[in-house]
């Protein structure tokens, strides 16, 4: 087994628990701004999360509900972009005000990677602007080798394109990298690229089929904060509420 040389992190649901109280709220505020009378509750948004990408999510919802059928394809694309730009503006304001904290253990795990001279890459279906806001503010101490966002690929998760791009950028073989994901479509994308996955679950993904991940834990955990609950791991993983990178790497040797 090759030595681990890189960690690839998803963002939404992994770095920040953004979906329920972040993106969903921002979408609803954007809809209200444009005078629309529809609203995504938690259950509906969970269903929509099976579609990767914000604009794609709106497109799927509008099609299911028969909304904006009078628009041509070009007009629909422009409309989706306009609404999504407003949603992004609202979401970024939420990040700036600290309304969405980092998930337990995420910064610690990244710092451990830096200390071990392991590359850190962000691989998200979110917009590049969203990714940059989080990496430049909440994770400004972390040195990212590459930041890959949804607008850099033509096919979003569960397609493996973004993880194949990360492999190409780093010049590494799949067995030298580990992915940290939270959802079934993210795990599917990573495994399709031949990568091993740590799945950190949240309220939206804890009941999804993440079985192809080699570790499944509720969060990475912190010694002086919330700790994780392990639901799948190799037999030789030493875990007591906190998932340490050094212990994960031992499982590959």
> In tens digits, what is the pLDDT along the chain, a chain of 253 residues?
469 999 999 998 899 887 778 889 999 999 999 999 999 998 999 899 889 888 999 999 999 999 999 999 999 999 999 999 999 999 888 888 878 889 999 999 999 999 999 999 999 988 888 899 899 988 999 999 999 998 899 998 999 999 999 999 999 999 999 999 999 999 999 999 999 999 999 888 888 999 999 999 999 999 999 999 999 999 999 999 999 999 999 987 6
Same domain, residue pair 146 and 239? yes
Same domain, residue pair 160 and 75? no
Same domain, residue pair 218 and 120? yes
Q: Whole-angstrom Cα distance, residue 215 to residue 178?
A: 11
3 state SS of 187? helix
Same domain, residue pair 110 and 83? no
Domain contains 166: yes
Domain contains 143: yes
The runs of H, that is alpha helices, within the chain are 18, 24-33, 42-48, 54-65, 73-96, 106-115, 128-136, 161-170, 184-192, 245-250
Cα dihedral 242, 244, 250, 252 in deg (nearest 10): 90
Residue 216, judged by CB atoms within 10 A of its CB (0-12, 13-18, 19+), counts as buried
Question: Is 159 considered catalytic here?
Answer: no
Question: Is 10 considered catalytic here?
Answer: yes
Domain contains 1: no
From the candidates 12, 17, 159, 182, give the one annotated as an active-site residue.
Answer: 12
Q: Which of 46, 74, 96 is the last residue of a domain?
A: 96
From the candidates 3, 10, 17, 224, give the one annotated as an active-site residue.
Answer: 10
pTM: 0.82
């Amino acid at each position: 087994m090759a030595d681990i040389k890189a960690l690839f992190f998803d963002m939404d649901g992994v770095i920040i628990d953004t979906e329920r109280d972040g993106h969903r709220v921002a979408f609803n505020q954007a809809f209200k701004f444009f005078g629309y009378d529809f609203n995504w509750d938690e259950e509906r948004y969970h269903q929509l999360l099976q579609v990767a990408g914000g604009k794609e999510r709106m497109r799927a919802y509008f099609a299911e509900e028969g909304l904006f059928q009078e628009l041509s394809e070009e007009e629909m694309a422009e409309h989706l972009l306009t609404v999504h730009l407003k949603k992004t503006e609202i979401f970024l304001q939420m990040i700036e005000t600290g309304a969405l904290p980092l998930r337990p253990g995420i910064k610690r795990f990244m710092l451990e990677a830096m200390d071990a001279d392991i590359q850190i890459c962000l691989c998200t279906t979110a917009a590049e602007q969203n990714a940059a806001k989080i990496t430049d503010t909440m994770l400004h101490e972390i040195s990212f080798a590459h930041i890959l966002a949804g607008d850099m690929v033509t096919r979003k998760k569960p397609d493996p394109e973004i993880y194949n791009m990360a492999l190409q950028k780093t010049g590494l073989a799949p067995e030298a990298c580990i992915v940290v994901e939270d959802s079934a479509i993210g795990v599917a994308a990573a495994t399709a690229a031949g990568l091993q996955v740590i799945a950190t679950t949240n309220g939206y993904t804890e009941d999804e089929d993440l079985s192809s991940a080699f570790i499944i834990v509720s969060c990475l955990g912190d010694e002086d904060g919330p700790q994780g609950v392990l639901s799948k791991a190799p037999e030789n993983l030493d875990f007591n509420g906190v998932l340490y990178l050094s212990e994960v790497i031992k499982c590959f040797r």
